[in-house]
Amino acid sequence: MAAIYWAADSTVQYNSILTYPQTGIGQMMHLFLKPEVTVCNHAINGRSTKSFLEQGRLAAIEEKIQPEDFLFIQFGHNDEKKEDPLRFTEPFGAYSDNLKIYIETARKKKAYPVLITPIERRRFDANGNLGPGEHAEYVKAMKQVAKECDVPLIDLYTRSRELLSKLGPEGAKQIYISVGPDIYPNFPDGKEDLTHLCVRGAICYASYIAEGLKALGGRYADLVLDLQTVEQVRAMQQ
């Protein structure tokens, strides 16, 4: 059976106890996949489409990925950091161009690229309303690339905004990391994490990706357990 390779940032990466309780979506994805499907998670903290490429991380995937495998591409959080020239990309400039490099890399190896929009940050205003959108332009750019290149896209951004709006600022702390009772030694006192997920959140968003794959049908749906099982696992996290 095929393998899933993942090129992404800290919201997807595999975590050890050193970053507990942070949990990446890719870390929990196996819960929703058929037993014969493997996940090769190359996602890593702090990377953008630009820095992931320049550090040779896509090249490492290219060496290993095989025909009929899948390349999941999920970036945006770090591409938008204008203060960091090593990571920043313009959404309809280098970001779009870089996504096309990832797509072409997969296709050269006769693998199947899948674009996945970044999850929203847990940022609410004083009235408890979810902010206007941290990644909106990057999401638009990714959707445009998906259309231009005829690549499947799973819109995790929209699903995450819907969920955060439903949960509200306090409920969202049940799926994202919240400073306080959590043990997170890498965070300085008083700093709040609005981006990363705990185990419950990673499972929830992994289930959304599973649903997206199921909706795509064909070879993508064949990766995933039946939807009833997906619903049962997610219900346990509510």
pLDDT, average across residues 187-206: 83
- Residue 70's φ and ψ, nearest 5 degrees, are -125, 140
Better pLDDT: 38 or 192: 38
Q: How far apart are CA 109 and CA 50, in angstroms?
A: 21
CA-based nearest residue to 113, from 87, 79, 75: 75
Better pLDDT: 161 or 236: 161
pLDDT, average across residues 11-34: 93
The pLDDT assigned to 195 comes to 92
Report the first-to-last Cα separation within the chain, whole angstroms: 32
The pLDDT assigned to 189 comes to 52
The pLDDT assigned to 1 comes to 74
CA-based nearest residue to 25, from 173, 157, 169, 205: 205
For the chain, domains (ranges, CATH) are: 3-235 (3.40.50.1110)
Q: How much is the mean pLDDT over the chain?
A: 91
Q: How far apart are CA 14 and CA 30, in angstroms?
A: 12
CA-based nearest residue to 49, from 19, 91, 13, 107: 91
Q: Is the pLDDT of residue 43 over 70?
A: yes
Q: In this structure, how many other beta carbons lie within 10 angstroms of the beta carbon of residue 180?
A: 8
Tokens of 38: 């493997």
The pLDDT assigned to 212 comes to 97
The pLDDT assigned to 185 comes to 54
Radius of gyration of the chain (CA): 17
The model's confidence at residue 230, banded by pLDDT at 50, 70 and 90, is low
Measuring CA to CA, how many Å separate 79 from each of 44, 92, 134, 189, 237?
Answer: 14, 11, 11, 26, 31
The pLDDT assigned to 20 comes to 82
Q: How far apart are CA 230 and CA 227, in angstroms?
A: 5
Tokens 């929703």 correspond to 32
The model's confidence at residue 238, banded by pLDDT at 50, 70 and 90, is low
**What's the pTM value of the predicted model, to 2 decimals?**
0.92
pLDDT, average across residues 6-14: 97
The pLDDT assigned to 184 comes to 55
The pLDDT assigned to 168 comes to 95
Give the model confidence (pLDDT) of 64-80 as tens digits.
Answer: 999 999 999 999 999 99
Q: Is the pLDDT of residue 62 over 60?
A: yes
- Name the residues annotated as catalytic: 10, 192, 196
Q: Is the pLDDT of residue 187 over 90?
A: no
Q: What is the DSSP string of the chain?
A: --EEEEEE-TTTS---GGGTT---HHHHGGGGB-TT-EEEE---TT--HHHHHHTTHHHHHHHH--TT-EEEEE--TTTT-TT-TTT---IIIIIHHHHHHHHHHHHHTT-EEEEEPPPPP--B-TTS-B-S-SSHHHHHHHHHHHHHHT--EE-HHHHHHHHHHHHHHHHGGGTB--TTTS--TTSPTT---SS-B-HHHHHHHHHHHHHHHHHH-HHHHTTB--HHHHHHHHHTT-
Give the model confidence (pLDDT) of 83-112 as tens digits.
Answer: 999 999 999 999 999 999 999 999 999 999
**What percentage of residues in the chain have a pLDDT greater than 70?**
89
The pLDDT assigned to 138 comes to 97
